[in-house]
Amino acid sequence: MREKNYNLELIRMVSFVLVIAIHVSNYFCRGYGEIPEREYLFSLVVDTAARVSVPCFFMITGALLMGRDEPLEKHVKRLLRFFTVLVVWSLVYYLWNTFYMKSEFDLRTILYEPVEAHLWYLYAMIPIYLVLPFLQVMCRNFSEKLEKAFFVVTTGTVLANYLLWLMHGEFYYDPPLIGDRVYVYYLYAGYYLYKYKDRIRLSQPAAMGICLASLGAAFGITLGATVAQADHYEGALTYGMPLIVLASAMFFLFMLRLGRGKIRLGERTKKVIDLFCGCSFGIYLIHILFLDNYKKHMEPYDLSAWIAVPSLVAGIAAVSFLCVWLMRKTRIGRKIT
């Protein structure tokens, strides 16, 4: 059994909190024009900074799985687990939205439209897990030269995909292995950065500097476009946006190299991280229930974002963790979280 890498676990722990921060802060960002300008700017800073989190989840998966040699049966079990989770939580959110939030959803669209927006992550991961054993074989048999070439080609594809998106177009045929989305690229980027983290000629201050500069540029573009169109603009904060891709990769690399790639933590700290990381997937799945409840009763302008954003992030993270921790005491709870 592999020794647990706590650099990766620390990235996972930070990321699941930041995912909650995205969903909370974005609610206030979408209140542009209804909330004070300074509250919007604060919410946008949080929203932008937190955008590295979702790419990090994909990159953690790539770092841990892309180079492995696993039996096909393990892939089948992983795929079935994700499919079960998708079915169960789609049902939960369908009932929640129909009977509590009073919003309609056409079940006939469920094959291509999530019942709740954040479940898109499962729609992305299931196809990836479907082809993961073949991607693993590919990575295991790459020479170093081919690995670098593939990284260059896939990076170019991501840039081209985004440029075409800006022009409201797309490739006539999706590029093989990558497709028209960025998620497989993040998997490979995680694998590549994890494998070559000590050989990449970039200092820690430089990596963090590039991360912050990229996020700053994405913030500036978002703010400028928002003011110009008098409505919150989200195009510069998508996960396929090159600035977000670069910021996420640099953040991931920076965190990987903390403590020279093997961060030293006390046993008590490791237990805390293990506890929270073990619940991280469940927290991702369940936290929207609590945020939706806030949205049902509170508008963005009802409470200052300076108070609401940090309070909601901390409160939702805490209550989500408690619920998942209790659920995981049961066999069924462990299967769906």
pLDDT at 106: 87
Mean pLDDT of the chain: 95
Note the pTM of the prediction, 2 decimals: 0.96
φ, ψ for residue 320, nearest 5 deg: -65, -45
Is residue 54 a part of any domain in this protein? Answer: yes
Q: What pLDDT, in 10s, does the model give residues 202-248? A: 999 999 999 999 999 999 999 999 999 999 999 999 999 999 999 99
Q: Two tokens at 22?
A: 């995205």
pLDDT at 205: 97
Is residue 281 a part of any domain in this protein? Answer: yes
Is residue 326 a part of any domain in this protein? Answer: yes
C-alpha to C-alpha distance for 232 and 241, rounded to whole angstroms = 17
C-alpha to C-alpha distance for 14 and 164, rounded to whole angstroms = 32
Is residue 221 a part of any domain in this protein? Answer: yes
328 contact partners, CB below 8 Å, separation of at least 6? 278, 279, 282, 334, 337
pLDDT at 178: 83
Give the domain range for residue 281: 6-335
**Banded pLDDT at 1 (limits 50, 70, 90):** low
C-alpha to C-alpha distance for 129 and 38, rounded to whole angstroms = 43
Q: What pLDDT, in 10s, does the model give residues 68-116? A: 999 999 999 999 999 999 999 999 999 999 999 999 888 889 989 999 9
Is residue 264 a part of any domain in this protein? Answer: yes
C-alpha to C-alpha distance for 255 and 11, rounded to whole angstroms = 7
Is residue 147 a part of any domain in this protein? Answer: yes
C-alpha to C-alpha distance for 174 and 296, rounded to whole angstroms = 40
Task: Point out which residues pair with 100 in neighbouring strands.
Answer: none
Is residue 130 a part of any domain in this protein? Answer: yes
Is residue 1 a part of any domain in this protein? Answer: no
Total domains in the fold of the chain: 1
Task: Point out which residues pair with 32 in neighbouring strands.
Answer: 35
φ, ψ for residue 176, nearest 5 deg: -55, 145
Percent of the chain with pLDDT over 90: 91
C-alpha to C-alpha distance for 267 and 277, rounded to whole angstroms = 15
C-alpha to C-alpha distance for 322 and 333, rounded to whole angstroms = 13
Q: What pLDDT, in 10s, does the model give residues 125-173? A: 999 999 999 999 999 999 999 999 999 999 999 999 999 999 999 888 8
Q: What pLDDT, in 10s, does the model give residues 177-190? A: 888 889 999 999 99
pLDDT of residue 123 exceeding 90: yes
Q: Two tokens at 141?
A: 């048999």
